[in-house]
Amino acid sequence: MYLCRYMSVSLAKRRRKNKEMKQRDATVCYTLNSNKKLVRVCKKFFSAVFDVTKHRLVTVIKVLQEGGVPKERRGGDTVSHKTAPKTLKVRQFIGKLRGKESHYNRKKSKRIYLSATLSVAKLHKMYNRGCDREDQVSYDMFRSVFLNDFNIGFSSPASDVCSKCTRLREQVKHTKDKKGKNTFYELNKEKPNNSITFCFDLQQVQPLPRTPIGDAFYSHQITWYAFCCVSMSSRHPTFYVWTEDLAGRGATQIGSALLQHLKNLNYKDINLIRLFCDGCGEQNKNSHIIHTLMYWLKNKAPENVVEIIITFPVRGHSFLPADRSFGRVEKILNKNPVITCKEKYVEIYSEVGSIKSLGTDWQMYDIKELEKVYKKIKGISECKRIGLKKFMNKKMKLLLNMQLSRLPLGNSIPDKKKLSLSHLMKQHFGEEWQCRQNLLWYKNLLVGVEKTTENGLENNNTQEVADGICDCLHEEAAIHI
């Protein structure tokens, strides 16, 4: 605007006869203020005084020719136009939502309310699942469009509703859900000819010691693991058990237990093995377990067994015998609030099924060695069923004599966990707990920890232990389809 004050544009009054020269349509006059008078100057002097380039002057000239007010084009938003197509699709998705007006409004309102079971986060996941990968947006972008472009809220859960309607709705829901789950269970109980069917799963971890005192909630404890294998038509499961000081929980332990269980089955007149398990990515649904089954099928399986099919049911829509076995165990555990030794867990689990202890009845093998032989399976997280068939070529014949390496038992336990466990033992059993014969296992596990207790645990506030809430009370993260 300031430069426009000292510049004027007018149509060319005269033109040179030389046609080779560029014929301009307008003449620009440059002036400067001198003693309250405008003095005409050349373009070069004008640009030198204001320290502007010729490109800047050309821009001002175009504004003067158009006769409008110059607009500020520096800075501004340079991002929104890049995401405009995605924003439009988000608006279209939200616009399709059907809500209702509030029951408590006295006059008509433009604000609508969605079900109390929904949220912005759930709507964001629904949108990303239903669109192409290139159209997916971040949560922040989805939330910004939802809040700024729409007048939508979420209704509160109903608190004064008809009891009869609620009762009938729940009865219908329960009947349909139970019918579907039982149908799945009954179909899987049907045993095809010449086949074996069983499922496997890892139970939620159990703490050692198991104690009802309040400090146990904020303390670290040793973890007891139980991996269950059970036939679809049997009520007698097999539990493969171990403790945290021997090994962790992962594909290596699950694969080793599977190898042992497959070794113990009777395969007379059997050519198909059907397996069922949940879709936990770290334990069941991963390349290591598939490689283990491939290794067993090609190297250890009898000649008549030629195929393995592993199925991953949708969580919440199926009843698996392993879950029922865990439920039977939980009923017994609820009647035993105090468990101080591994032997007590073995006794409880023995009431439900047979027990196989790591290091005694089965060993741990390095199944991850198979990555060098078999390729990593891509897209396994999206699979609902995987089939393996036995075939033999020149390469497979070279693998017949391959043997998996046995892994040594022993798992390091963090010092912080040991200190927390030592403190819990004192709270539950007293200062002289190490003298008790039935607690020698804990004493050997915590050797050398007592020397650092004064410098470690007792100088910290007891609340500090709550920062890492006991991992043995949490379920392993899983990916389900």
The answer as to whether 196 is a domain residue is no
Q: What distance in Å separates the CA atoms of residue 291 and residue 474, rounded to the nearest whole number?
A: 28
Q: What residue numbers bound the domain in which 27 lies? A: 3-14+22-66
- Chain-centroid distance, C-alpha 209: 30
Specify the pLDDT at position 247: 92
Q: Taking the CB of residue 235, how many other CB atoms lie within 10 A of it?
A: 12
Q: How many domains would you assign to the chain?
A: 3
DSSP string, 124-188: HHHHHHHS-GGG---HHHHHHHHHHH--EEEPPPPSS--HHHHHHHHHHHHHHHHHHHHHHHHHH
Whether 150 and 173 map to the same domain: the answer is no
Q: Are strands 307-311 and 37-41 parallel, antiparallel or unpaired?
A: unpaired
Dihedral sign for Cα atoms in the order 369, 238, 261, 319: negative
CA-nearest of 320, 383, 325 to 188 is: 320
Q: Tokens for 339, please give them.
A: 């468990």
In order along its 481 residues, the chain shows pLDDT tens digits of 678 778 888 877 777 777 666 667 778 888 888 888 888 889 888 888 888 888 888 888 887 877 767 677 777 777 778 888 999 999 999 998 888 777 556 566 788 888 888 899 999 999 999 999 899 999 999 999 999 999 998 877 765 566 667 777 776 666 655 555 566 556 555 666 788 999 999 998 898 888 887 777 777 888 999 999 998 877 899 999 999 999 998 899 999 999 999 999 988 889 899 999 888 877 788 899 999 999 999 888 998 999 999 988 876 556 688 888 999 999 999 888 888 888 999 999 999 999 999 999 999 999 998 888 888 888 888 888 899 988 765 555 556 677 889 999 988 888 888 888 888 888 878 888 888 888 888 888 887 665 555 454 444 444 443 343 334 334 333 333 3
CA-closest candidate to residue 272, choices 227, 302, 300, 238 = 302
What are the CB-based long-range contacts (under 8 Å, 24+) for 10-15? none
Identify whether 39 is part of a domain: yes
Q: Is residue 173 part of a domain?
A: yes
Within 10 angstroms of residue 438's Cβ, the number of other Cβ atoms is 11
From 376, 396, 216, 369, select the one nearest 298 (Cα to Cα). Answer: 396
93 and 139 in a common domain: yes
What is each CA distance from 271 to 192, 305, 423, in whole angstroms?
Answer: 11, 4, 55
Of the three residues 140, 170, 189, the one that is the final residue of a domain is 189
311 in a structural domain: no
- Residue 319 CB partners (closer than 8 Å, separation 6+): 181, 182, 184, 185
Same domain (yes/no): 114, 149: yes
Asked whether residue 62 is domain-assigned, the answer is: yes
Q: Is residue 473 part of a domain?
A: no
The answer to whether position 29 is within a domain reads yes
Could you tell me if residue 40 is inside a domain? yes
